[in-house]
Amino acid sequence: MTPHDDNDDLRKWSEESVDYESNKVFELSDEQQKIVDLDTGQHLVLAPPGTGKTEMLVHRLSNAINSGTPQDKMACLTFTNRAASNMVERIHQEIGNHEVFIGNIHSYCNNFIRDNNVIPQIVSLIDEEDTHSIVSDIFKDIFKELDDEIKQLENLAGEINLFAENPYTDEHKRVDSKKNIRKKYQDLKNFGGIKRFITHLTYLKRKQLGFNEDVNLGCIDFSVGRSESEQQHLLTLSKIVLEKYEAVKNNSDYIDFDDLLTITYGRLLSDTSMSDKNPPLQWLQIDEVQDLNPLQWAIINKLSNKKYSHRVFFGDPEQAIFSFMGASQENLKSISRECKIHGLKTNYRSPQYLLDLYNKFANEVLNVEWISSPKSSKDILKHDDDLQIEEYFGIDKRNKRPSKCDQLHEARHIVATKFPVQEKISTAILVRKNITADYFESQFKKIYPNIKIFKVSGTDLFSRKIVKDVLAIFNTFVNKRDKLSWARVFHICTKTTLKKSRLIVDEIFSSGVNPLDFILDNKSVKSYLDDFLYLFNNDRIIVFDTETTGLDTNQDDVIQIAAIEVIKGIPGKIYEVYIDTDRDFSEAEKIHNISKEHLINHAIDKVKALSDFIKFVNNDALIAHNLDYDYKILNANLKSAGLPSIASNISLYDSIDLAQRVYPKLPRYKLEYLLKTLKIQGNNSHNAIDDVKATVNLISHCIK
């Protein structure tokens, strides 16, 4: 398809359609407004591309929020992160800050299992490439173990054969048996490759967890169509690989994308506190609903229901043919039986002649079941050399799928006969699969070697090694407990394999050490814990906390400081002071319960309060729960009061960091949670003196 510089009507119409998407030109049509106004029941909106779907999603969300729907009971699920980012930006423009979840189903599940303390906080999410790498290493280990065992048996058989009358001994039989097993395992691994085998592992894991078969659709069951012997070998191999894979994830604190869904669904199945009358999601809209697989649907039906939740699903039956990850047209048909169906037919993006061509292709090739075929909002005249559709012979009539030879022949034919080589214009060729783009690239290099071509790679930029390496380095400074990133950093710096790097990082963290200690401290490896342990048992440390007018560390005021000195492990003097302020802190009062009247009766001058606290500290070590916040806002207040900052030579410690090193597998490290989980005496009331006393008890517990 080539652009026409002289087609002013088309360019103007296209610009207007873009403005429509940002809500600058068009207002909602009657058919769109009906969708926006829906506020009860179950609805399926069949919305092909160009029908203003994003606009409706944004307006619906805005209306629901403005009408008072509880935001923690709402969700807008999209299929891609890009769509979610666009939605977040649009909603922010419409209503400002909000608490509604907007994102894909995997992001929702990630939040769900973390918010509900299902997984340790330290857990990292691995991508498909990492999963592939781990499983590949596991296969290498399995085959190496088999090869070593075969070699040992062969040596033993050879020694026995020197003295045996029968040259074919039991050891020889065992060698042949092991070789046969190895060949079977190799055949199973090669069948479809690592990627397909990983989906079989997902199938096996969910089956072991007792999930129904209907939620496991889309995962590969390799046992189908195999002999009893092959099934047994497959089951044995799969269990070995799955056990080793789960062990790697558990030891390294990893989960994969399938785990997000599996863990979430498992938690929902076992949660007896959930009520149909009060589902977690009472208002739900889902974009690209045709792309959801059965397990994702099962999760959605656990989080919401047709009786007590208002749900609107936006889907496109034509796109369901691609069957992403277990999704299918049957999903849409199943939904349609439980929903009121709304069909959007006005297309604001494409001219009618393009839609006519598209409709013809959809009807004759895709066998789409239309409610009503799309119509353009405006008609643009078609030029003779505009987009056309041609039937080509490169399709295998038996299975309706092009073979490799067909695709290569098709690419050669198009490049040789259809490419406008004489015209100085830019030409784009759109293909469905990356391999097809490779065929076209090879033919251009053969037929037109002097023509510059640019192939848009199917490889995700963020999956490239150099990008993952750079991001890993940055991630370790954002989250110093990111074991996945630390393993990659060790791999970069030491030239060890990723497998060995994972083992090194696992060992470091299990010892209560963080790799960042190597970088930030020139002393011994265990200097952080050793130094703090020495200070706690042999010196004086100050445990402190602040209460403030808000969360802005640069602008808000400290209104309470509490501190307790700990000398040789024994709590001593207490320092507590309230500080006067002119700032409004009515919102913060709801948390710490310090009123304006209380400050009038008990607060002292800011300069004196801060000066007295610095004298109390006396250059001794400071420790707080979430030190970064208290330290920053304290220094900002010292600066605004015209006082020097906290001395740079003072040792600083965070009780969160201490708890994470001693108890690395906990799902969260808020003070209240730690007190309850570890059965430590104390009250996290959000009054500074109560919180300091509780923090002292937490520190003492961790030291013991």
Chain segment 165-197, per-residue pLDDT in tens: 555 556 667 777 888 888 888 877 776 688 888
Residue 19 is assigned to a structural domain of this protein: no
Residue 130 is assigned to a structural domain of this protein: yes
Residue 194 is assigned to a structural domain of this protein: yes
Band of pLDDT at residue 120, cut at 50, 70 and 90: very high
| 200 φ, ψ (degrees, to nearest 5) | -70, -35
Residue 519 is assigned to a structural domain of this protein: no
537 and 683 together in one domain: yes
CA distances from 322 to 203, 217, 442, 636 (A): 21, 15, 26, 56
Question: What pLDDT was estimated at residue 404?
Answer: 54
Of 259-268, 493-502, 572-581, which range is least confident?
493-502
Domain that holds residue 468: 462-510
Checking if the pLDDT of 486 tops 90, the result is yes
356 and 473 together in one domain: no
489 and 501 together in one domain: yes
Of residues 485 and 19, more confidence is placed in: 485
Question: What pLDDT was estimated at residue 316?
Answer: 81
Q: Among 198, 226, 252, give the residue marking a domain's end.
A: 252
Of 59-73, 131-145, 217-231, which range is least confident?
217-231
Of 130-139, 333-342, 536-545, which range is least confident?
333-342
Residue 67 is assigned to a structural domain of this protein: yes
Residue 635 is assigned to a structural domain of this protein: yes
CATH number of 668's domain: 3.30.420.10
Q: What is the mean pLDDT of residues 323-341?
A: 72
CATH number of 270's domain: 3.40.50.300
pTM: 0.83
533 and 640 together in one domain: yes
427 and 479 together in one domain: no
Residue closest to 550 by CA, chosen among 562, 541, 542, 558? 558
Q: How far apart are CA 627 and CA 493, in angstroms?
A: 31
Question: What pLDDT was estimated at residue 76?
Answer: 96
CA distances from 517 to 197, 476, 498, 553 (A): 39, 12, 21, 26
542 and 609 together in one domain: yes
Checking if the pLDDT of 22 tops 50, the result is no
Checking if the pLDDT of 16 tops 50, the result is no
pLDDT cut 90: percent of the chain above it: 51
Question: What pLDDT was estimated at residue 41?
Answer: 95
Question: What pLDDT was estimated at residue 15?
Answer: 38
Residue 334 is assigned to a structural domain of this protein: yes
pLDDT tens across 416-454, in order? 887 777 666 778 888 878 888 889 999 999 998 888 888
Question: What pLDDT was estimated at residue 17?
Answer: 41
For 104, the 3-state DSSP assignment is strand
pLDDT tens across 364-383, in order? 776 666 566 778 887 777 67
Distance from CA of residue 439 to its chain's centroid?
Answer: 33
Q: Among 200, 231, 252, give the residue marking a domain's end.
A: 252
469 and 383 together in one domain: no
Residue closest to 657 by CA, chosen among 76, 258, 79, 121? 121
Of 65-69, 159-163, 248-252, which range is least confident?
159-163
CA distances from 238 to 141, 187, 246 (A): 14, 13, 12
Average pLDDT of the chain, as a whole number: 85
pLDDT tens across 612-622, in order? 999 999 999 99
616 and 679 together in one domain: yes
294 and 397 together in one domain: no
Residue 92 is assigned to a structural domain of this protein: yes
Checking if the pLDDT of 412 tops 50, the result is yes
586 and 546 together in one domain: yes
Checking if the pLDDT of 398 tops 60, the result is no
567 and 632 together in one domain: yes
Question: What pLDDT was estimated at residue 4?
Answer: 37
Q: Tell me if 327 sits within 8 A of 302, measured CB to CB.
A: no
For 349, the 3-state DSSP assignment is coil
Question: What pLDDT was estimated at residue 630?
Answer: 97
**Domain tally, the chain:** 6
548 and 480 together in one domain: no
Band of pLDDT at residue 669, cut at 50, 70 and 90: very high
